[in-house]
Structure 1
Amino acid sequence: MPPTGDGAKRVLIVAEAPGRKEDEEGMQLIGEAGQVLRDTLDSFGVDLDRDCVKTNAIICRPPGNKTPTDKQIQACLPNLRKTIQGVDPVVIIPLGGVATKAVLDSAQTDTGKISTWAGFRIPNQNPNAWICPTYHPSFLLRTKSPVLDKLFRDHLKRAFSKCKKKPWKELPQYEKRVRIILNLQEATEAIREMADRDVLTAFDYETNMLKPDAKEARIFSCSIAQENQAIAFPWDGPIIDAMKELLRNNAPKVASNMKFEERWTFKEFGFGVWNWKWDTMLAAHVADNRRGITSIKFLSYVFLGADVYNEKVEAFLKGDAGKPNRIQDIPIRDLLLYNGMDSLYELMIAEKQMGVMDCG
């Protein structure tokens, strides 16, 4: 079934798959669920056929109207990507879990449930469009929840508020903001220079164990981010003394799950970090108590449009409880780039969260 709709507002609606009525008439979202969507959009002045382009994640009606499988989603992805490229939307609204999984396929390796994503407005990079997942209207028909009906309307209205401008004039190229420093003296000088600045500072340790208690537990690398730039360096020699200055200065500090950095700092230096300001993980939970939305990997995507960045290190950093991981086997530049991205994203996410929560 080809896409339909005039797309006056450059919004692409991605539904799940054709139902019986859609299959018969060759148009998306004309059944009972489609009418829920049409009525909701009409309530704030949007016409589905005039203002949007409509398509499906699955182009053919599944047998027995069953939920499409991952294999079927993958088989139809080339068609969806071709549609997105041809429409060049400013906003993409996937309806429900299947459509969200398909739309996010190139950016996220694990999408989980629609409840994780519903309501976010994601500044996606490829394609350069706001991705705004919400519930499928058929779910609203089944649940008959006035609260979900209101959330659905709010999600859609907020999504259409983004249809004037794409998220990126130029793609951000976050990796270029990370400076990898292998020379210990050069790293020491850079740390001391950052320690002299009284600005919001994120830092991140990469370690061979989750907890620092074991004798063999140690830090392998560290990164620091200030003013949307980061440095990353091996944890060795004079660097450790320079870090003492930064950890005990008055600059406000940021981390994700700060108790991790706090505990490792106590192991290394015998003191805690001075002037903690923000924990991105805790702030994410306070703002929204859904499960699965507090990690840097998730937050960097929904706030910054950052693609998955841990693919080269993820397998090495996994380990059995109480046993060292294989961090020492990661090529040093891959480790430091990953480490630097962590602290850079922690800083940028903290600034976004402070703005949303009015906690500057």
Structure 2
Amino acid sequence: MSRPPPSTAPDDARKLADAASTLAELRAALEDFEGCTLKKTARQTVFSDGVEDAPVMVVGEAPGRDEDAEGRPFVGRSGQLLDRMLDSIGLNRQSNVFISNVIFWRPPGNRPPTQGEIAACVPFIERAVTLVRPKLLILAGGFAAQTLLKRDDGVMRLRGKRLTCGLPALTEPLHAMVMLHPAYLLRRPQDKRLAWADLLAFAAWADEVGIQRGPGL
């Protein structure tokens, strides 16, 4: 029995993403893209929220039920926790944060995305990061960290460290830091002390690179 031909979705996604010169164009390209099977079962595309020229960008994993319903990332319980965490160090999506996910459509039942689904989405999130070009990139959870940093290390080994994220279209790598995903912290509140330590480290780095933070820490 012959194998099916390899999917052209990753190459198609790369061409569409690379052709976008603005976030609005990238959003439109994503809406037109039919190469990810998750789009067939999701209610809508969940692209981004926040300020497009923000100095801080947060990237998570994938939309959940609430995000799929509302069309914005991080609006459920984990998103509310994320907002409180960011607010504690003077950051928010209304003034200085841009938020997105690696995956733009909710996986059925919140299952992990397949390798094919990831490959179809990665060109778009990499292009989004390139277009925003934040002073600091926050990667929420191990999935986002491993996908964008191209590393196999677990989140506990990566969290709170000063890292870099290099992408082909960037002349210089971006400053990046990994944090525990808010959904994980809701399941394991005893690890919030680790998250607080990471927030302190991120706030200090933000000050060093000249990011204006509001009231908070």
| Offset of residue 160 of structure 1 | 3.7
**Residues 122 and 14 of structure 1, relative CA distance in 2, 3 Å threshold:** same
Q: Does 1:118 align with 2:159?
A: yes
| Offset of residue 23 of structure 1 | 1.1
**Residues 74 and 29 of structure 1, relative CA distance in 2, 3 Å threshold:** same
Quote the residue 1:161 is aligned against: 204
SS in 1 for 2:49: coil
**Residues 123 and 98 of structure 1, relative CA distance in 2, 3 Å threshold:** closer
Q: Give the aligned length.
A: 160
- The answer for unaligned runs of 5 or more in structure 2 is 1-45, 211-217
**Residues 156 and 71 of structure 1, relative CA distance in 2, 3 Å threshold:** farther
**Residues 75 and 160 of structure 1, relative CA distance in 2, 3 Å threshold:** farther
Q: What do residues 235-293 of structure 1 show as CA deviations (whole Å, max 9, x unaligned)?
A: xxxxxxxxxxxxxxxxxxxxxxxxxxxxxxxxxxxxxxxxxxxxxxxxxxxxxxxxxxx
| Offset of residue 7 of structure 1 | 5.2
**Residues 112 and 124 of structure 1, relative CA distance in 2, 3 Å threshold:** closer
Q: Does 1:142 align with 2:187?
A: yes
Q: Distance in 1 between matches of 2:202 and 2:117?
A: 27
Corresponding letter in the other structure for 2:193: K
Q: Distance in 2 between matches of 1:36 and 1:44?
A: 13
Q: What do residues 47-72 of structure 1 show as CA deviations (whole Å, max 9, x unaligned)?
A: 23322100001111011101223332
Q: Which structure would you say has the larger RCO, counting Cα contacts within 8 Å and 6 or more residues apart?
A: 2
Corresponding letter in the other structure for 2:80: Q
| Offset of residue 77 of structure 1 | 0.7
**Residues 70 and 156 of structure 1, relative CA distance in 2, 3 Å threshold:** farther
Cα RMSD for the two superposed structures: 2.0
| Offset of residue 130 of structure 1 | 0.9
Corresponding letter in the other structure for 1:41: L
| Offset of residue 9 of structure 1 | 4.8
Which structure 2 residues correspond to residues 1-360 of structure 1 after superposition, within 5 A?
1-6=46-51, 9-105=54-150, 108=151, 111-126=152-167, 127=170, 128-145=173-190, 148-163=191-206, 165=209
**Residues 113 and 72 of structure 1, relative CA distance in 2, 3 Å threshold:** farther
> Would you say the 8 A contact 2:57–2:98 is kept in 1?
yes
| Offset of residue 161 of structure 1 | 3.1
Corresponding letter in the other structure for 1:165: V
Q: Name the % identity.
A: 31
Corresponding letter in the other structure for 1:136: H
> Would you say the 8 A contact 1:3–1:83 is kept in 2?
no
- The answer for unaligned runs of 5 or more in structure 1 is 167-360
Q: Distance in 1 between matches of 2:156 and 2:114?
A: 19
**Residues 72 and 101 of structure 1, relative CA distance in 2, 3 Å threshold:** farther
SS in 1 for 2:161: coil
Q: Distance in 2 between matches of 1:72 and 1:134?
A: 24
> Would you say the 8 A contact 1:7–1:50 is kept in 2?
no
Max Rg structure: 1
Q: What do residues 97-127 of structure 1 show as CA deviations (whole Å, max 9, x unaligned)?
A: 111122112xx4xx13212211111134444
Q: Distance in 1 between matches of 2:200 and 2:114?
A: 30
**Residues 60 and 7 of structure 1, relative CA distance in 2, 3 Å threshold:** same
> Would you say the 8 A contact 1:68–1:98 is kept in 2?
no
Q: Distance in 1 between matches of 2:139 and 2:88?
A: 20
> Would you say the 8 A contact 1:11–1:93 is kept in 2?
yes
| Offset of residue 26 of structure 1 | 1.1
SS in 1 for 2:205: coil
Q: Distance in 1 between matches of 2:102 and 2:159?
A: 17
Q: What do residues 142-162 of structure 1 show as CA deviations (whole Å, max 9, x unaligned)?
A: 1121xx212212213322433
SS in 2 for 1:50: coil
Q: Distance in 2 between matches of 1:7 and 1:22?
A: 19
| Offset of residue 37 of structure 1 | 1.1
Give the structure-2-normalised TM-score.
0.67
